[in-house]
């Protein structure tokens, strides 16, 4: 165990105090730098200040922490000077360092970095004398001032960019690299003036002061808004903070034999492993590769040729203007390629590597398990299994279940894209940064993307280039389109992590934020216009291109097969139509865990019949009570009043009209299920939901049905409830109007007779008292027996209940005497168990989660400590009465991975979720089994 009072760990020169297993303490970057150094790879030496120091910084402040760690930092700095033969801050051979963040979980671009730290007038002159390259030193100095001014001094970054743009304009050039040393010297003066004006103080020239301020700024960046939002979106929790990595600078901007780049051991978009993937720039520093100002070049010849072909660039132009690293610096490429193989073999996963080449010498700055799309994650997991690098269980654990959702969304309909291109709707081509298809209305800011999405609109976020501040809008958008940036730009990396379609580096776009438009190919596209993106090819189309569900074969089918091999939980679906059922079965559902029959009543061809029933239901109930009749047949014999008889006739006709419609739905679903189980929940919502609420709608209904508007209004008023979710609904409706329960039971039974091999299960909702279930069960059994006798068939239809009332959970041992199965309706159980209204809790639950009152929104992730205990209690008590009782969960939580693991631990038989979450549930169930083996 690490000494709790040790806050600084050195690495470099072939040795390291840390290793890859120390991620929680050293952060991912620091742990892997130490590991690479220990392997003898060319890592610039440095030291890591631990995440525990960041935690202490947050609790005690900078002064207390820095006093505590100053001696360790000074000792590590002295050791770094020995390893490099340079002196920090002065002398003929000055040492410059980078100061970079690095948490235990990768958070690309969310925290801050400062390069070239240690530069001042004295050290700059010494470096110029040493290198003989004044332009390189001054370029490094202006970069340092810009980064330090932005990150540490909080000077508006745009002020530096404006000054840089002005310098290029005055010179008549487009690229930073075209500015000479004198131009850069003037720019440094301009930056100094900007900083003095913004802060009231000159730029700090003491390197030690620079270092401590930079360390504090990196610690501060742990809690900047974009980092907090990133952790929220990616559910990154329980980390101490970020480590700080102080590392000797190596310079990719020191001339034509220098370069910087980002490389991947496999394609992070597709997972393919055909060649060496990545981008680099000659005579550049790290930020240049992702900034998009210059066009990055590809690592390998094969990758370069593919890129050029997609961009319509000839081979001659590619070779002369955009040569690959393999061609431009073959020795460095060979060394990097050898390291690629070594690192992937070491970590048994796809690696994302940063490197710098200084005067022909390769240095490794980082390696980490690379962010990847869902398609890439699945393919890489299966390929690594086939290559014997990982086993099946590891492959199953490698893919985030929720990430599979990325694979289940539409792609362009076959032929639709070709048609759009033929019609001239293709307006641009950029980089295929993150695959998939997306269509939506154009917006130009992250704020608008979030606001429009909140209104139910689908949007495409269009930016010159994205920055970490855009993360909320990127999350809200269907897809992202940028004018600048390569395959490793912020937009590309973040979009791949989110599973968002992204086209980056579309240089033809001329975006005008003020006018809310962009121009391309002679056309003007304004805010609100529709465009479509193909993130797999980089194509941009005007208008909406039709989409379709993806084909889920190949690696996806393979990992699903592995998931099914290791999971213990069954996976069903919540489906109310044959179409939903068909989709779910295609995704691997083993049956229906929740068929909500009320959804069948809302269709246009049956809502009228159901409304006719509602209009007279209470009157028929009263007539039965007055005559002491238990059924309609007996009631009819006793009635003499014409109006009363008419009401009963209307009631019976409505039921008779609904019966074949319900039966037909069940038959279609049973046929689609092909022998899989189907749990049918009887009518649940309150009756007022089926009636029109406005005067206009009530008048229209009266005209359709043939009654007066006042009659409609009277019924609507009579059904009004102050708290309908706790009112006359669920089994209470069936007890009040038993004929509805009988009609539904008959529809299920007759459908089962008509579709051989059907396995229906009838679920009575909202039971809180065993007597409620007993009353409804008696009606159901009577109808099943009647249909069996009429058809001469034996029907095996299980009868159970939905446990969604806290009292039902507490008295589950009693309810199990009547129920053959329980299905936990965790939506209502959460509502009643927590005392939260699903319709209103959104106003405060986000604050509750931020304040740590709840770890997650309990309507999205099951509250295991509270509501989960009710479920656990019901499981124990139900099985104490009926050992073979079947137990499942059918609330929205049924497709949520953390909830699925909980369901596995407490011994449920299955989970049920929406059709598109079935693959997520299958994988999550397998991971739950492996974690809890």
pLDDT of res. 330: 97
Phi, psi of 264 (to 5 degrees): -130, 140
Under 8 Å between Cβ of 788 and 767: no
Q: What is the mean pLDDT of the chain?
A: 91
**Residues of the chain with pLDDT > 90: what percent?**
68
What is the pTM assigned to this prediction?
A: 0.82
Residue with tokens 């740590």: 852
Name, in order, each residue with C-beta under 8 angstroms of 824's C-beta and a sequence gap of 6 or more: 802, 803, 804, 871, 874, 887, 888, 889, 890, 891, 908
Most confident of the following: 367-381, 626-640, 796-810: 796-810
Q: pLDDT higher for 412 or 606?
A: 412
pLDDT of res. 378: 95
Could you read off the pLDDT of 549-577 as tens digits, one per residue?
676 778 999 999 999 999 999 999 998 88
CA 593 to chain centroid: 25
Phi, psi of 918 (to 5 degrees): -60, -50
Residue whose C-alpha is closest to residue 595's, from 655, 649, 669:
669
Q: Per-residue pLDDT for 767 more than 90?
A: yes
Q: How confident is the model at residue 4 (pLDDT cuts 50, 70, 90)?
A: low
Most confident of the following: 3-17, 376-390, 591-605: 376-390
Q: Per-residue pLDDT for 913 more than 70?
A: yes
Give the dihedral sign, CA 533/537/542/548.
negative
CA 231 to chain centroid: 12
- Among candidate residues 425, 462, 490, 913, the one labeled active-site is 490
Q: What are the C-alpha distances in Å from 473 to residues 179, 476, 494, 497, 543? A: 35, 5, 12, 14, 21
pLDDT of res. 541: 96
Say whether 890 is catalytic: yes
Q: Per-residue pLDDT for 634 more than 80?
A: yes
The C-alpha atoms of residue 456 and residue 458 are separated, in whole angstroms, by 7
From 194-208, 402-416, 499-513, the region with the lowest mean pLDDT: 402-416
Q: pLDDT higher for 222 or 229?
A: 222
In degrees, rounded to 5, the angle at the alpha carbon of residue 895 between the alpha carbons of residues 862 and 686 is 70
b/e per residue 150-176 (b: at least 16 CB within 10 A): bbbbebeeebbeebbeebbeeeeeeeb
Name, in order, each residue with C-beta under 8 angstroms of 171's C-beta and a sequence gap of 6 or more: 178, 179, 183
Residue whose C-alpha is closest to residue 913's, from 223, 427, 404:
404
pLDDT of res. 604: 64
Q: Per-residue pLDDT for 328 more than 50?
A: yes
Q: Per-residue pLDDT for 2 more than 60?
A: no
From 75-84, 383-392, 616-625, the region with the lowest mean pLDDT: 616-625
Average pLDDT over residues 485-502: 75
Q: pLDDT higher for 754 or 917?
A: 754
Q: Per-residue pLDDT for 110 more than 90?
A: no
Could you read off the pLDDT of 278-320 as tens digits, one per residue?
999 999 887 777 666 678 899 999 999 999 998 889 999 999 9
Under 8 Å between Cβ of 299 and 280: yes
Question: How many H helices and E strands in the chain?
Answer: 38, 34
Q: Per-residue pLDDT for 1 more than 50?
A: no
Q: Per-residue pLDDT for 692 more than 60?
A: yes
Q: pLDDT higher for 699 or 462?
A: 462
Beta bridge partners of 412: 547
pLDDT of res. 723: 83
The C-alpha atoms of residue 728 and residue 694 are separated, in whole angstroms, by 21
Could you read off the pLDDT of 252-262 as tens digits, one per residue?
988 899 999 99
Average pLDDT over residues 440-450: 94
Beta bridge partners of 530: 441
CA 143 to chain centroid: 34
Under 8 Å between Cβ of 709 and 698: yes
The C-alpha atoms of residue 788 and residue 781 are separated, in whole angstroms, by 10
pLDDT of res. 585: 93
pLDDT of res. 497: 59
Q: pLDDT higher for 374 or 806?
A: 806
- Among candidate residues 890, 893, 904, 913, the one labeled active-site is 890
In terms of Cβ atoms closer than 10 Å to its own Cβ (0-12, 13-18, 19+), residue 405 is middle
Q: pLDDT higher for 838 or 723?
A: 723
């Amino acid at each position: 165990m690490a000494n709790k009072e040790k806050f600084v760990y050195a690495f470099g020169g072939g040795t390291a105090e840390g290793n890859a297993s120390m991620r929680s303490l050293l952060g991912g970057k620091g742990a892997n730098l130490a590991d690479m150094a220990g392997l003898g790879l060319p890592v610039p030496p440095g030291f890591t200040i631990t995440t525990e120091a960041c935690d202490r910084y947050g609790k005690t402040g900078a002064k207390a922490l820095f006093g505590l760690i100053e001696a360790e930092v000074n000792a590590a700095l002295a050791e770094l000077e020995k390893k490099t033969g340079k002196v920090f801050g002065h002398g003929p051979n000055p040492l410059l360092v980078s100061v970079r963040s690095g948490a235990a979980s990768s958070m690309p671009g969310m925290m801050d970095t400062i390069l070239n730290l240690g530069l001042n007038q004295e050290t700059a002159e010494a470096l110029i004398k040493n290198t003989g390259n004044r332009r390189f030193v001054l370029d490094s100095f202006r970069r340092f001032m810009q980064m330090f001014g932005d990150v540490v001094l909080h000077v508006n970054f745009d002020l530096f960019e404006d000054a840089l743009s002005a310098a290029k304009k005055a010179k008549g050039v487009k690229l930073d690299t075209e500015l000479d040393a004198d131009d850069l010297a003037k720019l440094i003066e301009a930056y100094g003036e900007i900083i003095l004006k913004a802060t009231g103080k000159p730029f700090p020239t003491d390197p030690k002061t620079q270092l401590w301020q930079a360390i504090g700024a990196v610690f501060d960046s742990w809690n900047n808004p974009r980092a907090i939002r990133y952790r929220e979106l990616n559910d990154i929790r329980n980390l101490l903070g970020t480590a700080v990595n102080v590392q000797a600078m190596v310079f990719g901007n020191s001339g034509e034999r220098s370069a910087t780049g980002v490389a991947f051991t496999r394609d992070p978009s597709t997972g393919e492993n055909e060649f060496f993937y990545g981008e680099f720039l000659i005579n550049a520093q790290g930020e240049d590769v992702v900034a998009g100002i210059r066009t990055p070049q590809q690592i390998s010849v094969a990758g370069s040729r593919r890129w050029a072909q997609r961009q319509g660039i000839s081979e001659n132009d590619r070779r002369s203007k955009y040569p690959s690293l393999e061609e431009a610096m073959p020795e460095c490429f060979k060394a990097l390629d050898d390291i690629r193989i070594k690192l992937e073999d070491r970590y048994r996963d796809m690696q994302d590597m940063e490197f710098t080449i200084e005067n022909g010498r390769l240095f490794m700055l980082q390696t980490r398990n690379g962010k990847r799309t869902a398609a890439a994650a699945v393919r890489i997991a299966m390929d690594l299994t086939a290559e014997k690098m990982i086993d099946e269980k590891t492959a199953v654990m490698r893919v985030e279940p929720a990430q599979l959702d990325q694979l289940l969304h539409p792609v362009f309909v076959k032929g639709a894209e070709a048609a759009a291109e033929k019609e001239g709707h293709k307006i641009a081509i950029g980089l295929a940064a993150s695959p998939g298809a997306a269509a939506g209305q154009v917006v130009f800011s992250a704020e608008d993307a979030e606001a429009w999405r909140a209104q139910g609109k689908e949007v495409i976020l269009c930016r010159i280039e994205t920055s970490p501040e855009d993360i909320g809008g990127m999350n809200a958008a269907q897809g992202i389109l940028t004018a600048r940036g390569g395959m490793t730009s912020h937009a590309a990396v973040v979009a791949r992590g989110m599973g968002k379609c992204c086209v980056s580096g579309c240089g033809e776009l001329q975006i005008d934020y003020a006018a809310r438009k962009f121009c391309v190919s002679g056309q003007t596209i304004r805010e609100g216009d529709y465009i479509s993106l193909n993130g797999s090819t980089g194509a941009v189309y005007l208008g909406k291109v039709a989409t379709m569900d993806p084909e889920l074969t190949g690696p996806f089918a393979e990992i699903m097969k592995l998931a099914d091999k290791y999971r213990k939980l069954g996976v069903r679906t919540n489906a109310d139509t044959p179409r939903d059922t068909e989709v779910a079965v295609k995704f691997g559902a083993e049956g229906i865990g929740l068929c909500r029959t009320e959804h069948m009543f809302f269709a246009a061809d049956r809502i009228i019949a159901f409304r006719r029933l509602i209009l007279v239901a209470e009157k028929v109930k009263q007539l039965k009570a007055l005559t002491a009749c238990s059924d309609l047949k007996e009631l009819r014999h006793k009635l003499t009043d014409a109006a009363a008889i008419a009401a009963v006739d209307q009631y019976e006709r409505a039921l008779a009209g609904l019966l074949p419609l319900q039966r037909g739905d069940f038959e279609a679903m049973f046929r689609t299920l092909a022998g899989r189980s189907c749990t049918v929940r009887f009518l649940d919502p309150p009756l007022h939901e089926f009636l029109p609420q406005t005067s206009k709608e009530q008048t229209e209904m009266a005209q359709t049905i043939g009654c007066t508007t006042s009659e409609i209004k009277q019924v609507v008023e009579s059904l009004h409830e102050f708290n309908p979710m706790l009112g006359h609904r669920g089994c209470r409706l069936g007890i009040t109007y038993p004929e509805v329960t009988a009609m539904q039971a008959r529809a299920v039974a007759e459908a089962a007779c008509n579709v051989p091999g059907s396995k229906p299960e009838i679920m009575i909702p909202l039971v809180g008292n065993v007597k409620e279930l007993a009353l409804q069960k008696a009606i159901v059994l009577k109808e099943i027996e009647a249909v069996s006798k009429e058809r001469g068939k034996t029907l095996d239809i299980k009868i159970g209940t939905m446990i969604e009332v806290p009292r039902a959970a507490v008295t589950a041992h009693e309810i199990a005497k009547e129920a053959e199965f329980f299905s936990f309706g965790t939506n209502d159980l959460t509502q009643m168990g927590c005392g939260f209204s699903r319709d209103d809790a959104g106003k405060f639950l986000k604050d509750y989660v931020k304040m740590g009152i709840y770890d997650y929104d309990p309507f999205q992730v099951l509250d295991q400590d509270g509501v989960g205990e009710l479920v656990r209690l019901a499981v124990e008590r139900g099985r104490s009465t009926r050992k073979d009782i079947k137990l499942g969960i059918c609330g929205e939580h049924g497709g949520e991975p953390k909830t699925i693991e909980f369901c596995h631990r407490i011994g449920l038989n299955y989970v049920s979720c929406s059709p598109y979450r079935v693959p997520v549930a299958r994988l999550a169930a397998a991971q739950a089994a492996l974690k809890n083996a």
